[in-house]
Every structure is written in structure tokens, then in C-alpha cells.
Structure 1
């Protein structure tokens, strides 16, 4: 049999096996080991009010109760300080519990001598504003951060003069001063002081070994942190790529990305581990560490001693010069049931909020670059990261996919945290196995959650035909749903098993739990999201009840004392609009396509000024008031509406210089792949004049300049000052203009370096330019718009 026939036969056999095995089985009857304590050496973990924070080998506890928080990264020095307050509140509204932030040493001490903690370098102000927004804080101390920063954030004057990332006495002397400065910034703001700082991270992606390195160096960094006054409950390190650290002194954190922008490949990646359940390891493949491991990492041997925490699950990806992946919202969201279903008990994102690099003295770029010996080339200024919140606070589509999972963890995470991961009878042999169904269960006793994923980035998954699940629990087998269902390519979900709905037993549901809402006189409401293509069944003591997801269906299922307990099944559209906010002392569902959060006791709405601002609220606000607000009631939903304001300001665009022939792409660097052009190459860029109107929407909170271009690298200048730059990847480029305090009627300049047809650069097929026969390069501006952003505040 030739090779092609063998492959066809294998695929046919796999398809027949998948079709025949419609009953997917899993045994969750075995007892789970009890949590153990004593191995992890935490700092002071009691607040002045007696609130406690603890960690066993399985999960976190807050005030003695299991706690499964969501953490998101936001770099304060990569954002204007004027934005911090609103952006931190937006993160809180999106279901984030902890904000993590790097302290880039070279942002604060670019030259020897005094440190800069002013303006958008003010760590203390950032931490205080995080606390005001209701967020906890993890400070990532470095001194080596990576973070796509020049020398990983270590200043040039240190790199030039001494060995780094080890116990060299001269280096440690400077690190001690850095830590002392950070300690002063957060003094009085630690958890033990009643502040929000619950943890610090030491170093990053550390797998160096040898005398003065490895465990010894991490131990020394922890000693210096404590000496600087940073006595916190949690000390963490990153645990991937063969990380080395002193067991028990720190907790490893993990991550994963749906693609590898640091890869040398110019084609699609093989299926990534982030979309496949893990039952034996917590390390999710290559995460781009810049040093090579030379042995098994501590995280592998620590697996049963520490909880499974995440810090760098990518809700987006950075653009790197040689590889510019543009991920879809589903590429990201499909990771969540996989990671949670693999046992993650702290879900951490990098980056949750995009930003921009500052430019150093004399125009020195502080970004990672092959020109300064880095492994990757990143934009000089842009650190967009395709994050759920863009550099100027833009809400990206991926955020609407992530929020329901965050709300689920906030309300049901205490139950989930104690549950053990259970492996099905049949599991994929590897991430490349696209035929075998991907699922798991986390259970404790007879209760649990079923996790399923049928989405893999850039690969079609087979429709799983006529599927039913059989989960063996201590109290007996649970079979669901009542009739076999087809699970579509791209589907992913979480279903509950024997869930307690305030005294009402829900045997199972084929819909995903999202939140629990105390609706006052209207009782207790458990909110569910539908599973696309699957009828929503709710199996109760009196039988199975089905609901269709055509919007806002409320069904009473029992009583909690004198109060009604109901389930609310949302439509797919409503799930994407859902934001859960505490307004006027009550938790409420807010449905809006715009951004919503609470500040100063008022509901804030933010969106395009040229479109209506609209929100539907449940339970209704007592007396909502705001200038121009229209209030109406539709059943249980209270509608709040502001009419559009004005039109888009016009930007006058004219080409000022045609492109010249771009030089061939250079190959080199540590990756021996495409490296960014030398500065002189930009003389070949096309340029356009962008003249702004004399009145740049003065009433708007911000105005976004949106550029739709095709080329290699775009740059925007005010005079000779570069405001922002962008590696073309198919994503529209937006720049908030208010932060630059431009003069009325100012003229900006856009330059676009041509992208060569022969460029060995990866761009997703859907966005890679289609070069005509004989066309050697492209540099086009397809459009430029000014998008005014407004904000409205509604008193409740």
C-alpha cells in the first residue's frame, strides 16, 4: 500500500471510530487527595481588618474560602497616567480581579543616578488607582522582565558594565537599590497594610544554571525583595521553558499562546497545545524564553506541591517583524475551557491592555530589537498586542467572548477551585490529533463541570456526531444530554453537573453557567449562555426542560425559602453584550455594545459619538438621570439611550511622496530569519499628509485616528517626532490623539515602507496582500478616519 493510501485508510478508520463512539465516557469516582499546606513559604497574609490570604498545593483561599481569581496585565509606563483610572475600572468591569504590571528598570533609571517615578512612571499612583477600582495588584519586579523591552528592561549602563541575571556582587548592588526604590513606591500599599498588593514576581523566564545562578539567584532576589520591605503573601516566578527556582520559596506561574510570533516559521503553525487539554504537565510548549533550558525545570518536579496558576495566557499576540499573526476572538476564547478544564486555579492574561513604549534619551528605542541583540524585532513604539483593551482603551471583539468566562469564575470559582481534573477514557494522543474529542471534567464528589473544545486555530475540526456523555460519579452515572447532539466545528463550552442552584439541584445543563444574580424582590437568578447548535436542556428533579436561545428567557426552577430561584438563558447576542456591574448597591446585568463601568457611583457608557449610546439594565435603576438621557421599559429590561452626536471630523489626506524600491529583507539575528530594516531603509517609504480640522471634536473624550494601510511598516509623525508605529498585519491601526495635545489644525505625516512580494515574513493568508503578476511591492493607504469617542455618566 502506498503512503497516500495508508494515510487515507488511517483517516477513514479514525473517522469511523469517532462516528461509532458516540458515548463519551469518563470515570470521576476515585477520591481526590486532600489539599496540603506547609510547603509554600508566604509572606504576611493577614490584613489589618483580619482578612486572610492563603495558598495550599491546590488553590488560593481568601478569608478561608477557595478563591479562583482572574488576572490581567497592564503596563503603567506604557500608558498615559490620565487614562489609568478609567482603564483600571474597565478591567474590573470585564471581570478582572488582579492587575499585574512590570516595573521596567530602564523606564525608571535610564541613566545612573536618580530614579524617575513621575507622570506615567508613578507606580504608587497606579497602585492606589487600582485599589480604588477594586483590583488587587501583582508587581512584576524584574530586574529582567523581557516584556519585549530592550535588554529585557535592564538599563544599557548596567548591561555594558557587568554580568547580569546572576549573583554578581556589582549587579546585585544595583538590583538592591532598584528593589529599595520599588519598596518605597508601594510602602503602605501591601496586603498586610490593607493595600492591594498581594504578590510580586521575581525575574522572568529564568532557566539559567551554574554557580551564582539558578535557585541561588532567585533566592537572593527574594531576600532583597523582603529586605526592601516587600513582605507580601505571594512570591511568584514563571514556570515554563525549563525554569529553575528554589522549591517552596516561590510559586511558579504558567501560560500559553495560540500562535508563536517569535517563531522562525513563515507558514502556519502545527496545532498548538493551548487548544488541547493537559493531564500530565502544566507547561504549554514554547513561550519564547530567550535562554535555552539545559535540564528538567523545577516546575515539573513541583507539580504536586504547588497550585496551578496562570500569568501569561495570551488574549492577543504581539506583532514581531518576521511573524505577524492576527488571531480571532475564538482562537483566544477557546483556550479558556481548555486551561480551566486542565486545572488552572488562577487565570492570568498577558496582555489584557495594550500600550506604547516610551522612547529613551536621544531617541533610543526601548523596545526589543535585533539591533540591540534581541531575539525579536518589535515596533519602536506600539505595544498593541491585539489586547482586549487597546492602547487607548478601545474595546476589542475578543473581550465580548472572554467576559462570560470571567463572570463564571467570579461566581462559581469557589466551587470549581476545589475540583480535581478527570481524564476521559479516550483522549487525543497529541495536539495534532484533530479527530478524538477534546474534553475533561473537574469534579468533587457528585458535582462538577464538563469542559469541551472543538476549536483549533487555522484547522477545521470534525463535527462530533450524535454525542452523549457518561460521567461516572460516586452517587451513580450521569448521562447527558437526553438525546445525542452534534457538536459543531469551532464549538467550545462548559456544562454543569449536579449543580446547586441555591437549594435547587440541577442535574445537568447543556448551557454554560455565567453568573448568579440576587435580583431582590425578583428572586435569585442564575444566568446561562447557550451552546451554539445545541438545544439548551435543564435537567431538574421533575424532568428535563428545554429552552431555545432566542433571547432573555426566564424560567422558575424552585424556591430558596420564600424566594424564587430562576434560570435566565440569554441569546448569543446578549451574551456578547453582557457586563455585570455593581450600581447603587446592587449587582445588575448591563447589556450594551458600548463599554460600561461604574465610577463615582454613576454608570459610565463610552463609545463612538456618531452612534447611539445604549444600555439595557436589569434590575432597573430607581431614577436614572443624565442630560439627554431617554429612559424606557421593555418587560424586565430598562433601556437607557443617548442619541448620536454630530458627525466624524474630516481629515484631509494627500500623498506627498511616492514609494521607492524597498531594499531586500535582511536575514540574520539570533533566529537567522527576517530582521527589521536598517533606519536608512525608511528613505524609500511613501508618505502622506494628514491635516486635522481646526476643531478636533472638542467635546469628545478622545478622537481616534484610524488608518487602513497595506505595506511593511507604518509610522505617524508630528513634525519629526514619531507618535506611533505599526507592523502591517491586516488589523486596522488606531491612535488616540488627545494624549498628544496637538495644536488645532495640526498636520501629521504618515510614512509606509513598502512590503516586498518576496518578503520572508508571515502574515495570515486572509490578510497577506495579493500581488499582481510582476508587482514587486505594495505601499497603499486605503483610508483614514477620525473617530470621536464620547462618554456619558448616568446617576442611578
Structure 2
């Protein structure tokens, strides 16, 4: 079946004449020349690989093999995850469009006792880096020695904190840092970029704004010297640039971040609108990112902004749980940040955290989490570090991941062009993040080409409907006005639209659809994938006229030819965009549409989802000879459909309440924040408890079995005997844990305890999830449901 058809007037939907009524013309002047990038300020390490591959950075962007490069980076902490999961999870990150994995090396995870380093099992940094390389990812190692990362003492071991000053050039401290860096250097020896390995960068310290003798620039300079002495000669050296960071200009590159809420805040109500959802034109530094020390002056990043590129490392695709503030963000709260950050000039999109995890337990059961008990500013769960990340602690795919992937694919295929583009500010832009009336948008352009970025979503604040909008962008070759007729942009809308985009020789003057990817589909030509913008007709201004397309993942729309090959557009509706995963299978890049997680390992397509449901995927271009036991294959127009029947029923879990809740003690106020602090251990005597008895045999064919708990209370904990396996601060999110990693015996009985949440708790929980206490009800500790969810993974040979 020929699924390519030329665009014709028959595809037009409705008249193209402007509608009657107001026409809000938003103007922007992008005629000024783009300043040429400068070089020589940044002192990079060895940036040539044995095969001649090169990495570089100028004042504006990264370069890979001499070409502009705009990568995506995501954080995944190897010591917070079972080593058995690393390979699949790293490949899932690659499949999600990531180029780089970043990871902290928590000192107290590796040297809890002086001189006794642990680099084995779940602590094996070398194996983690090797697996990242096998998955096609580059690596940034965040060295510390102070990491924060919601870790006890920021990751510095107790025995160091007890005995000497830290985070400065104290000789005793530096001697231990030198030993730590030497150990890390040995772990990644031979795996650096200059050796043909994946390690392209290291981060020194974290959130460093201390000033004083042996601090500030002097300390960061000394850490870099020690890293080099340990053999860590890498192209890029970074530091975090927010909260008044201090560092030696030119020796390191600052990285930035932003979160849609502040779980470290002491407020127990909604916060004002965050600047994370507002375009930045004059600074790269976001607001409070939770540094544990106070700045006493303007940071180096402000004076550096014209000398170094705009890199991100901690744009939060989720948020950590903190005892006093338990924000639960929506997928739109996160995804709407992307057009804002990219449209503000970010040239490396870095996430913290992209993958959740769990803290290891220290010697003697010591908690390695940040807490007020150990002098921290925040209280966090003893074990759980879910972070509402796109990939949960056991690799669970969260809805937010389906919103982020299209942007990653966009950057992979269009980032080289975008990286060279300058940010342009509209004639009118919001006066501050609290201005919710003025439209929020920007353009990045170079010459006559560019991208328009728009955001009308702000967490917890309704934005006005922008009525009758058109955009007018003045370019060197003349103005571009889009759309052809005014459109209404509702509360919650956000998107990226192209201007004068080259589609393999066909100039797209503009489109009211978001570019996603370019695909060489072999005999079916060159395909440009776009995403429809909800509520807006997909308008494509092409050389032969203005066309409107109907979204349909099964239909190619031919727009021209190149070297005798068809050039087509594939326009995806939102439901199919959410299922899109772009993978290299059998030597060809392919679109895979599936609700299941998809990645490639051993040359085969891997699909993972609930074993109680069918596994389904649609592939384009079709796989040559897909094969797996029980696989059904059929061609459905453009798409090859693959299906495997469900294989398992949900295992039975016996649930029995064993203890009623007692009256929980009042929540204490204190700590550095003078706010609610987590209960002392004795307070858990008030917790209700349930016995959760597993079946005599968990299904052997299941890759994992997830315990899914829906409870209401203050803190939940799960024990095997007296060993705590996981814990959770209630926030309205379902709590899940994979059980295979714990090697439980058949028929094992776990214990769930739930500390009651008091009605008078001075704790922030989003209004949609805060319990509605009945009159006279002083507390709640309730288990709504407990289920076992079997997961299966299937491998399909191509």
C-alpha cells in the first residue's frame, strides 16, 4: 500500500482568511547579527580521542567533531540502584533521547571507614561507566567531595566531618580528598575520552559559594589540580553556577538548573509563580535551588555569561520528598519548562534526577540521608530517593517521560542548528515571574532561520487565554507572520514552532506544529516527524502554498523530493506522540509506538510492561523479520503492528492489619529552617501496621514483581523482619518497589507501618492530595490498597 500522498488543496481545513475580531500581534525583532563565538577563555582538558573524535566548547556552544552539539544529560546514581538494573536502565535512558549520564560519587558510600574503600557490587563505578559506554552514553562524573544530593553531610563521611574543617583548603582535609580523587581516578582509568572511553567531564564540588581564606576560587582551583593529579584529564570541568557560586573563571564551566517548586522551602502553602516557567533574557541564574550555604555577593556566573556557553545540569524533571514540604508536580509542570529553558538559550539540557533510586544503608544501620538529626537543612526519607523522576527507582516509566522524549528527539536532530542561534526578546515580555498576563515567548534565530518558543503554563496558577494571537518576527530577509489567521492559545499551552526550516531542500517558511525528528525511511524516503499543537490547526507554509494537515501516525504527506527520493511530513497527534520512542534497530533508525518501555539490547527490540496486559508496538519502517515466541505481526498501512498476549494474572497478596494506630505525637518544630522536622524514632510506636504475605511462589517468568501501595498517612515503611526495605513520605503519589532485588523467600511476610498524619500537621501537601479530615478527626493512617504487579520483558529479533 502506498502511504505517501502529495499535499493538495483537499487537505485544507476551513478558510485561511483571518477571522473577525481581535488580532493580538506579538512582535519580535530578530534582524541583528548573531555575535561570533569566541574561544580561548575556557581551559579544557585533552579533547581528542584515539580515533580522532574531538570535543570542544566556545563562548556559545559545545562542538563534537567540529560541529555544534546540543546534548541532553540525565542524572542516575549508581550507588542508589542495584547493579543488576544498570544495563537496562542506561539503555532506557539512551532510548529516551539522552546523550550523557551524570552520576555523583558519594564519598560516604565508598569510604564509610577510614581507608576502607568499597568499589564492589552496587558501588562499582568502573562497571557502571563501562555499561554506559555500551549503551551509547557519554558520562560526567560528579566528584564532590561535597555533593549534597540529599545525602548525609552532603556525602562527606562522618569521620571526616567530626575531625576537621571541610569544603576548604585545610591541609588535613585536602590530603583525604586527594586520596578519594586518586581512588576515583583509578576506577575510571582508561575510560576517559582521551582513551576512547565515555567520560567527557567531571564536576568539582557542588553549590559552592563560600568566600574566605582557603575557600572560593582557591578551593575550586585546588580541587581541579587534585583531579588532574589523579589522572582525570577530561575535556570539560564544571561547577554549579547558582546561588552565588564562586569559582575561578576560565578554569571551569558553570552549569545551571531550575525546579518548578521548592521542596526545601519552609512554606506550608503554595509558592509564588516560579521563574522556571518564565523566559530569561538577562541572566542564566534561576532562583533558590537549595544551596546549604548562604551567598555573600554576586556569583562568578554573572560576570562569566558572555564568556562561556549556557549549560544546564539540574533542571528538575521531578522533585525530592522532604518532610515539611511534599510537592507532587504534574507532567505539564515539568514539560512546560523545556521550551522556556531552551528558548532562554540553554545549550546543554541537563536533568536532576532522571532516574530515581534508594539510599544504601550505612555501617550499623546508619542512615545516609540528609536529615535535621545530623544537622542538615532538610529531612528526607531514610532510603527512598524516588524524586518523581521520569524513570522510577526500579525503572518505572512515569507519564512525564512521555512528554519529555519528543523534546530530546528534537534536540538530537535539530540541536546542531539551534545551538548556534541567539535568543531574541519580544517587544513585550513579562516584568517578572508573577506577571501572568503578558504572553511568554521567545525566538532563537540565526539569519532567517529560527524557532519560536511559547509557554502559557505556570504551576498552580491559571494563565489567561491568549486570544487572537499571531506572531510577527522581523528577520534579515523579511518578516514572517504566523499563523495565517489568529488563534487562541489556552491556559496550559506550550510548544516550539519552526521558522524557515530546511526539510531536506524544501524550505518550511513556518509551521504551527512542533518538529520532533528526521528519519531516513529507506525506500519510503526522508521523513520529518512533527507533533500537532493541541487546539491549533497544523499549518505548514511550504513553497507551493499554505497547507493544513490532519494528525495521523499512519499517513505520510509528501512535500517534495531530494535526489529522486520523497520528502514527507509525518504529523503525530498527542496520543501517538506520547508513545513515540526512536530506536536504532537492525541498522536503521525506526519509530516505535508503544505504551510499554522500549529499548535495544543484543540487537533486539526489548519491550517491558505489565505481564497482565498484552504487549503491543507499532514500528516504522517495518522490521525485516520480527520474531518472538507467540508474536503476532500484521501490516496496518504505514505501520507494522506487533502484539503478544498477556501471560500472567496478578499474584495474590494477603493483607492483614496487625496493629491499630495510636495517637501520633505533635510534630516538632526546629532545625535550621525552624519548620516541621521528622519524628524521632520513638514516635513510630504510634504507627499502624499490616502484614503483607507474598504468594508461595512468585511467577518465574516475570522479570520483576512490583509491590504497589496506596496509603494515606505521614510516613510509610516496609520491613522484612526488622530490616527496613523502603520508606515513603505520603504525598498522593503511588509508592512502588520492585521485590526481586531483595531476594525474598517464597511466602515471605513483609510488614507495612504507617505513622498517622495529624490534622494539625504544619506540612505542605498539594491540595488535591491533602486528606479531608472529618469533624473531630485528629489523624489518619489508612491503607487503601496493596497489589503485586508482575512485569515482563520480551525480546523481538528484527
Correspondence for 2:725: 723
Distance 2:552 2:669 in 1: 54
| Counterpart check, 1:560 vs 2:562 | yes
| Counterpart check, 1:335 vs 2:337 | yes
Q: Is the CA contact 1:375–1:670 (under 8 Å) kept in the aligned structure 2?
A: yes
CA RMSD in angstroms comes to 0.7
Correspondence for 1:219: 221
Q: Is the CA contact 1:422–1:442 (under 8 Å) kept in the aligned structure 2?
A: yes
Distance 1:480 1:530 in 2: 15
| Counterpart check, 1:793 vs 2:776 | no
Distance 1:657 1:198 in 2: 53
| Counterpart check, 1:270 vs 2:272 | yes
Distance 1:609 1:486 in 2: 43
Distance 2:410 2:573 in 1: 17
Correspondence for 2:379: 377
Of 291, 313, 316, which aligns to 2:315? 313
Of 44, 49, 67, which aligns to 1:65? 67
SS at match of 1:399: helix
Deviation at 1:549, TM superposition (A): 2.3
Q: Is the CA contact 2:576–2:593 (under 8 Å) kept in the aligned structure 1?
A: yes
Distance 2:617 2:53 in 1: 36
Deviation at 1:551, TM superposition (A): 4.3
Q: Which runs of 5+ in 2 are unaligned?
A: 1-20
| Counterpart check, 1:469 vs 2:471 | yes
Count of aligned pairs: 778
Correspondence for 2:238: 236
Correspondence for 1:437: 439
Distance 1:580 1:730 in 2: 32
Correspondence for 1:15: none
Correspondence for 1:50: 52
Deviation at 1:394, TM superposition (A): 0.4
Correspondence for 1:713: 715
Q: Is the CA contact 1:259–1:325 (under 8 Å) kept in the aligned structure 2?
A: yes
Q: Is the CA contact 1:706–1:784 (under 8 Å) kept in the aligned structure 2?
A: yes
Q: Is the CA contact 1:552–1:569 (under 8 Å) kept in the aligned structure 2?
A: no
Of 486, 489, 497, which aligns to 2:488? 486
| Counterpart check, 1:741 vs 2:743 | yes
Q: Is the CA contact 1:439–1:451 (under 8 Å) kept in the aligned structure 2?
A: yes
Deviation at 1:552, TM superposition (A): 3.6
Give deviations 1:666-725, integer Å, cap 9, x for gaps.
000000000000000000000000000011112100000000000000000000000000
Distance 2:421 2:470 in 1: 22
Of 648, 651, 659, which aligns to 1:649? 651
Of 122, 141, 148, which aligns to 2:124? 122
Of 217, 231, 247, which aligns to 1:245? 247
Correspondence for 2:35: 33
Correspondence for 1:291: 293
Q: Is the CA contact 1:552–1:571 (under 8 Å) kept in the aligned structure 2?
A: no
Give deviations 1:368-424, integer Å, cap 9, x for gaps.
000000000000000000000000000000000000000000000000000000000
Q: Is the CA contact 2:554–2:637 (under 8 Å) kept in the aligned structure 1?
A: no
Distance 1:570 1:96 in 2: 21
Deviation at 1:771, TM superposition (A): 0.1
Distance 1:661 1:258 in 2: 35
Report matched runs for 1:601-680 at 5 Å: 601-680=603-682
Q: TM-score, normalised by structure 2?
A: 0.97
Distance 2:644 2:408 in 1: 29
SS at match of 2:746: coil
Distance 1:427 1:552 in 2: 40
Distance 2:773 2:110 in 1: 45
Report matched runs for 1:95-106 at 5 Å: 95-106=97-108
Q: Is the CA contact 2:554–2:638 (under 8 Å) kept in the aligned structure 1?
A: no
Q: Is the CA contact 2:554–2:639 (under 8 Å) kept in the aligned structure 1?
A: no
Correspondence for 2:777: 775
SS at match of 1:620: coil
SS at match of 2:650: coil
Of 692, 702, 705, which aligns to 2:704? 702
Distance 1:325 1:560 in 2: 50
SS at match of 2:161: helix
Deviation at 1:165, TM superposition (A): 0.1
| Counterpart check, 1:514 vs 2:516 | yes
Correspondence for 1:6: none
Deviation at 1:21, TM superposition (A): 6.6
SS at match of 2:219: helix
Correspondence for 2:764: 762
Q: Which runs of 5+ in 1 are unaligned?
A: 1-18
Correspondence for 1:86: 88
Give deviations 1:79-111, integer Å, cap 9, x for gaps.
000000000000000001000000000000001
Correspondence for 1:545: 547
Distance 1:333 1:656 in 2: 43
Deviation at 1:553, TM superposition (A): 3.4
Correspondence for 1:8: none
Deviation at 1:589, TM superposition (A): 0.2
Q: Is the CA contact 2:717–2:754 (under 8 Å) kept in the aligned structure 1?
A: yes
Distance 2:81 2:574 in 1: 33
Of 177, 180, 183, which aligns to 1:181? 183
